[in-house]
Amino acid sequence: MLSRVKGIVWYELKMRLRSRLYWIIFILASGFSLFVPTPLNYPGPEDALRFYSDWWLAGQTFSALNLLMTLLAAFLVADRILRDSNLRIEEIIHSRPVSSMEYVIAKYMASMISLSLISIPAIIGVPIIKRLLLGVEMNLLPLLIAFLVMYIPSMVFVASLSLTGTTFARSAPAFYGVFGIIWYFDSVYFRVAESTFRGVFNFSGTSSFQAFFSATALGFTNDMYLISAGIAGLNLFLLIMVSGMMITALIYHEKMRRSATDYRIHIKKSRQ
Amino acid sequence: MLLEIDNVTKIYPGGIVGVKDISLQIQEGMLGLLGPNGAGKTTLIRMIATLLVPTSGDIRFNGSSVFSSSQVIRETLGYLPQEFGVYPNLTAWEFLDYLAILDGIYDYRSRKKAVEHALETVGLTSVAKSQLKTFSGGMKRRIGIAQTLLKTKHLLIVDEPTAGLDPEERIRFRNLLSEISGDRLVILSTHIVADVETTCNDIIILKKGRVLIRTKPLSLLTDLRGKVWETTISENEFKGLKQKFALITVVRKAEGISCRFLADEKPSIECISVSPTLEDAYVYHVGEIL
């Protein structure tokens, strides 16, 4: 099973990296995440001071990256399964001994790897910018933690929602329309989690940001509602759990489409 | 090798009958599945390929139900669907390598050998490194055949493989299918009679979801001897002929209209009996007339 999954992931990635859209989003996201946290955007003395904090800078970088990528990830990932149907490849895949679980998990993993690669310029670039502008070394740990608690959970959720939503709706544009509205309310309209409820239910990474990386959390001016680490943890748990449920539903959906389960139901009915 | 189709019926939502009460036993060799559009060929083929479930009945390959043991059957199944696509950004080699992985060939050397062999068989070795988006329709069809050859498949199913191909590609494709049939069970579904005429040793004609006839090509021709006629007539005579008989070909010439038609007995007009072809036999049984 692992070898087959590995093979699908490899070729899915290859196709993804050959797509122009991927590189446009890669450049856009890299530029955005590198530009937003620089002192050019925060000219005040206190902001410059924050810039010295590796934790604040890491949080700000991934906050910017998340704002963009929670939207654009959907465009990169959504049609990965539907595309096989649109390209008329689905039947030759389904007539092979590849299980629905292998197929869906491999597609999902490839999506996650391609989305993760987009954060590399930020992880490498921000320390370089800081060194160039301030002449001080940046500790990489906050960036890696921000990557793990802000970027990855958001991408896990958006990727599973996009793959599942589009496959169920059988239409990528329809999904983009609905997702665009969800994204607007989650990441723009309610950008800052101002209550415990909002802290628990969001996929923009704002809970982790407010709990671990915000100026408030780091002891600067109180400019943001402070989310407790427990609430942020609950948010992460819910994102991962809901994503897991969506992927499980997708695997079941794909399995049903391949008819084997359906067949037994038919046989039963015909015998009655 | 034995494929058993046991009282299979497929009724689509809305009550549309795909196939009805089909029972067949098919052994190794090349079987031509003929029938007009909508006869149920693709429905039957998709059920054999484990892609569609029957409303009732069962299909067994070497004793195992293709539905309850679908993963096992898929190990030995090669399928080229009617509408076949490719990943445009992959090269021919990469695409086949990808499908070889799905077939369970994990060892790189074995996979390389399998892909090279498949490409060589379909004559695409020289374009192995070209992206599939640059391929013509015929070349993509050959890639379609190549993907069925990656692993030793005992059951090959090809659905309308020559549709949309130019005559040269069609001949090449037919020869290719004959070459690879060997000791496999190959099912060739088509509505183009010439495709089965040159390749198949067994023919099934489907009409309206049922098996109309199952026979050998030669028997089909023998049955039709003395029933195919040719004549050259005037416009007025043609109108009468058209109403009475099933026309197979009509060619307008300077001396009149040259017609080939079916009639159980010699008609009253001046005409000559000619040797039947499989196309004549198909028209005779299916009743699709000009």
Is residue A272 included in any domain, yes or no?
no
Q: Which of B46, B49, B67 lies closest to A260 in CB terms? A: B67
Q: Do B90 and A262 make contact, defined as CB atoms within 8 angstroms?
A: no
Chain A nearest-CA distance from B58, in A, is 9
Q: How confident is the model at residue A267, as a pLDDT?
A: 40
Q: How many independent structural domains does chain A possess? A: 1
- CA-based radius of gyration for chain A: 21
Backbone φ, ψ for residue B17 (5° rounding)? -85, 120
Mutation target to probe the B interface, by most B beta carbons within 10 A, among A21, A263, A269 is A263
Residue that the structure tokens 């206190």 belong to: A46
Mutation target to probe the A interface, by most A beta carbons within 10 A, among B45, B47, B60, B102 is B102
Q: Any CB–CB contact under 8 A between A272 and chain B?
A: no
Chain B nearest-CA distance from A20, in A, is 11
Q: Do A11 and B68 make contact, defined as CB atoms within 8 angstroms?
A: no
Residue of A nearest to B70 (CA): A260
Task: Quote the CA–CA distance of A132 and A128 in Å, as a whole number.
Answer: 6
Structure-token pair, residue A149? 């608690």
Is residue A271 included in any domain, yes or no?
no
Q: Which of B55, B85, B104 lies closest to A4 in CB terms? A: B104
Task: Quote the CA–CA distance of A204 and B70 in Å, as a whole number.
Answer: 42
Structure-token pair, residue B202? 């067994």
Nearest to B194 by CA among B214, B209, B173, B180: B173
Tell me which chain B residues have a C-beta less than 8 angstroms from the C-beta of A18.
89
Task: Quote the CA–CA distance of B160 and B191 in Å, as a whole number.
Answer: 7
- As for the ipTM of the complex, it is 0.84
Paired sense of beta strands B272-273 and B228-233, if any: antiparallel
Q: Do B74 and A4 make contact, defined as CB atoms within 8 angstroms?
A: no
Distance of CA B34 to the CA centre of its chain: 7
Q: How confident is the model at residue A41, as a pLDDT?
A: 63
Residue of B nearest to A270 (CA): B56
Tell me which chain A residues have a C-beta less than 8 angstroms from the C-beta of B71.
97, 99
Give the burial class of B63: count Cβ atoms within 10 A of its Cβ; 0-12 exposed, 13-18 middle, 19 or more buried.
Answer: exposed
B93 membership: H or E segment, kind and range? helix B92-102
Task: Quote the CA–CA distance of B76 and B172 in Å, as a whole number.
Answer: 25
Structure-token pair, residue B137? 């329709």
Q: Do A92 and B80 make contact, defined as CB atoms within 8 angstroms?
A: yes
Q: How confident is the model at residue B132, as a pLDDT?
A: 95
B8 membership: H or E segment, kind and range? strand B2-12
Chain A nearest-CA distance from B212, in A, is 25
Task: Quote the CA–CA distance of B257 and B254 in Å, as a whole number.
Answer: 8
Question: Tens-digit pLDDT profile for chain B (290 aa)?
Answer: 889 999 999 998 888 899 999 999 998 889 999 988 889 999 999 999 988 889 999 999 988 888 888 888 888 899 999 888 999 999 999 999 999 999 999 999 999 999 999 999 888 999 999 999 999 888 898 899 899 889 888 899 998 887 777 788 788 778 888 887 877 899 999 888 888 887 888 999 999 999 999 988 888 888 888 889 999 988 888 888 888 888 888 998 888 899 998 888 888 888 899 988 888 888 888 875 44
Question: Which residues are CB-contacts of A268 (< 8 A; sequence separation ≥ 6)?
Answer: none
- B37-59 burial, b at 16+ Cβ within 10 Å, e below that, comes to eebbbbbbbbbbbbbbbbbbbbb
Q: Are B206 and B39 in contact (CB under 8 A)?
A: yes
Q: How confident is the model at residue B183, as a pLDDT?
A: 78
Q: How confident is the model at residue B57, as a pLDDT?
A: 93
Residue of A nearest to B59 (CA): A263
Mutation target to probe the A interface, by most A beta carbons within 10 A, among B79, B96, B101 is B101
Question: Which residues are CB-contacts of B111 (< 8 A; sequence separation ≥ 6)?
Answer: B97, B100, B101, B105
Q: Which of B68, B74, B97 lies closest to A95 in CB terms? A: B74
Q: Do B56 and A270 make contact, defined as CB atoms within 8 angstroms?
A: yes
Task: Quote the CA–CA distance of A67 and A236 in Å, as a whole number.
Answer: 17
Q: How confident is the model at residue A45, as a pLDDT?
A: 59
Residue of B nearest to A263 (CA): B53
Q: What range defines the domain where residue A60 resides?
A: 2-261
Q: Do B101 and A15 make contact, defined as CB atoms within 8 angstroms?
A: no
Give A99-140 pLDDT, tens digit per residue. Answer: 999 999 999 999 999 999 999 999 999 999 888 877 788 899
Task: Quote the CA–CA distance of B169 and B144 in Å, as a whole number.
Answer: 14
Is residue A53 included in any domain, yes or no?
yes
Tell me which chain B residues have a C-beta less than 8 angstroms from the C-beta of A7.
98, 101-102, 106
Is residue A269 included in any domain, yes or no?
no
Residue of B nearest to A7 (CA): B101
How far are the Cα atoms of A76, A77, A78, B89 from residue A20, in angstroms, in the given order?
11, 14, 16, 11
Chain A nearest-CA distance from B102, in A, is 6
A198: left (phi over 0), alpha (psi -120 to 50) or beta: alpha
Nearest to B77 by CA among B162, B3, B141: B3
Q: How confident is the model at residue A269, as a pLDDT?
A: 44
Q: How confident is the model at residue A265, as a pLDDT?
A: 40
Task: Quote the CA–CA distance of A132 and A139 in Å, as a whole number.
Answer: 15
Tell me which chain B residues have a C-beta less than 8 angstroms from the C-beta of A260.
50, 53, 67-68, 70
Q: Any CB–CB contact under 8 A between A259 and chain B?
A: yes
How much is the pTM? Answer: 0.84
- B169-190 burial, b at 16+ Cβ within 10 Å, e below that, comes to bbebbbebbeebbeebbbbbbb
Distance of CA A100 to the CA centre of its chain: 22
Q: Which of B56, B74, B90 lies closest to A15 in CB terms? A: B90
Is residue A163 included in any domain, yes or no?
yes
DSSP designation for B91: B
Helix-strand-coil split of chain B, %, nearest 5:
35, 30, 35
Average pLDDT, 10 consecutive residues per value, chain A (272 residues) = 90 94 95 77 60 83 93 94 91 90 95 96 90 84 95 97 94 94 90 82 91 79 78 95 97 78 41 36
Structure-token pair, residue A60? 């700000």
Q: Do B102 and A266 make contact, defined as CB atoms within 8 angstroms?
A: no
Is residue A161 included in any domain, yes or no?
yes
Residue type, A139: N
Is residue A186 included in any domain, yes or no?
yes
Q: Do B104 and A97 make contact, defined as CB atoms within 8 angstroms?
A: yes
